[in-house]
Amino acid sequence: MSSPLSPPERLARLRLARSENVGPVTFRDLLDHFGNAVAALDALPDLAARGGAKRAMKVAPAADAEAEIATTRKIGGELLVLGDDAFPARLATLDPPPPVIAVAGDIALTSGKLVAIVGSRNASAAGRRIAGEMAEALGAEGVTVVSGLARGIDTAAHRASLRTGTVAVLAGGLDIVYPEENRELQNTIAAEGALVTEMPPGTSPQARHFPRRNRLISGLSLAVVVVEAALRSGSLITARFALEQGRDVFAVPGSPLDPRAQGANKLIKDGAPLVENAADVIAALSGPFGNRFREPEPPSYAPRPSSAPETGETVRRKILAALGPTPTPVDDIVRQSGAAVPQVRAVLLELELAGRLHRDPGDRVSLLPDS
């Protein structure tokens, strides 16, 4: 896996992603702000102090990052940081992109024609059959099937597409099997398909990890097909991410008497195309597979010299005055403070690194209590 990044920059990007209070948005903003991770990493303690941190910020040590790289390779995977040549282009276009992913298996499967099939863990026999037949038929058409390796629909989709290509996105580390009953399937996908995760080795899946997994499932795919999903389910979260990312969402209809079909049926009511088989999906995606879909050109994350703007105390005070406990769009902060966008972003970075800022959906921010 070739990379345009120098070894020090690659290591700095991994350290940056693993440092305290650095999430995907902050990681991207730091690269935009400083131009490269080496400069951003050096600036972290001062940024946090300017943001009002009450203690020294925990910056990921180089030894820990090197150990993570070695451990990932030992378990048969490879770490990719944003800016690597092999980093999946569709993930690099997300807003924000994941800073680091780990891949085991064939990285080439993460690009090209990918369609996600997701649905209920407690799937009916009919739902599993539909998912399996759809996955097998899509594979026969050269489509790689993506799913989340959960029980039910996910498992059926993966098993049916092993021969033609399948990608499983995990909520834990590459070395963690979940659910345990899919141990053999996970090992087979690592050998014959591809496993993808944002989580470091040794990370057990937790509830807060699954939305991040779902976001990668849709992010890798041209479209998401929902087969059996309750009204409150991870599958509908995946569908929401897909719509936000500009992906197509399809749904298989089910009986109105079955709670497992209510989520998919609602998607259809809300305008998602109804599909019953792979032929319906292929027909609906004739544009993406022909002329309608254009792969977006991912922004360049190649390192560049630092060009961080200076933010004076007067401007900083105006930005702080525009913030409060109520989530506020960043655009409103810019207008109210009269500051330039880079200056606002710089102050928000300082506050977040200090643990004083919360980022909400829709590019909104709020000050945390007692800050």
pLDDT higher than 90, residue 363:
no
pLDDT for position 43: 93
Q: What is the mean predicted confidence (pLDDT) over 152-157?
A: 98
pLDDT tens-place string over residues 192-229: 999 999 999 999 999 999 999 999 999 999 999 999 99
pLDDT higher than 70, residue 309:
no
Report the distance separating Cα 102 and Cα 72, nearest Å.
8
pLDDT higher than 60, residue 154:
yes
Distance of CA 213 to the CA centre of its chain: 6
Report the distance separating Cα 254 and Cα 75, nearest Å.
41
Q: Tokens 């032929």, residue? A: 279
User: In the structure encoding, which two tokens stand for residue 170, read together?
Assistant: 């995990």
179-183, 222-226, 341-345: segment of lowest average pLDDT:
341-345
pLDDT higher than 50, residue 73:
yes
pLDDT band for 300, please (50, 70, 90 cuts).
confident
Question: Roughly what angle, to the nearest 10 degrees, separates helices 313-322 and 330-337?
Answer: 130
pLDDT for position 287: 59
The neighbour count for residue 84, using CB atoms within 10 Å, is: 22
Report the distance separating Cα 26 and Cα 21, nearest Å.
8
pLDDT for position 299: 80
* Alpha helices per DSSP H over the chain: 7-17, 24-34, 37-50, 62-74, 89-92, 125-140, 153-160, 183-192, 210-220, 234-244, 262-269, 278-284, 313-322, 330-337, 341-353
pLDDT higher than 60, residue 290:
no
In DSSP notation, 146-185 reads EE---TTHHHHHHHHTTTT-EEEE-SS-TT--SSGGGHHH
Q: Tokens 């027909």, residue? A: 283
Percent of the chain with pLDDT over 70: 95
Report the distance separating Cα 320 and Cα 236, nearest Å.
36
pLDDT for position 310: 65
Pairing of strands 357-360, 364-367: antiparallel
Q: What is the mean predicted confidence (pLDDT) over 359-368?
A: 89
pLDDT higher than 60, residue 288:
no
Q: What is the mean predicted confidence (pLDDT) over 81-105?
A: 96
pLDDT higher than 50, residue 54:
yes
Q: Tokens 């690592």, residue? A: 190
pLDDT for position 291: 36
pLDDT for position 296: 63
- Contact (Cβ atoms closer than 8 angstroms) between residue 250 and residue 281: yes
230-239, 260-269, 281-290: segment of lowest average pLDDT:
281-290
Residue 283 in 3-state DSSP?
A: helix
pLDDT higher than 70, residue 70:
yes
Report the distance separating Cα 19 and Cα 127, nearest Å.
42
- Residues 52-67 as b or e (16 or more Cβ within 10 Å = b): ebeeebebbeeeebee
Mean pLDDT of the chain: 92
Report the distance separating Cα 195 and Cα 201, nearest Å.
13
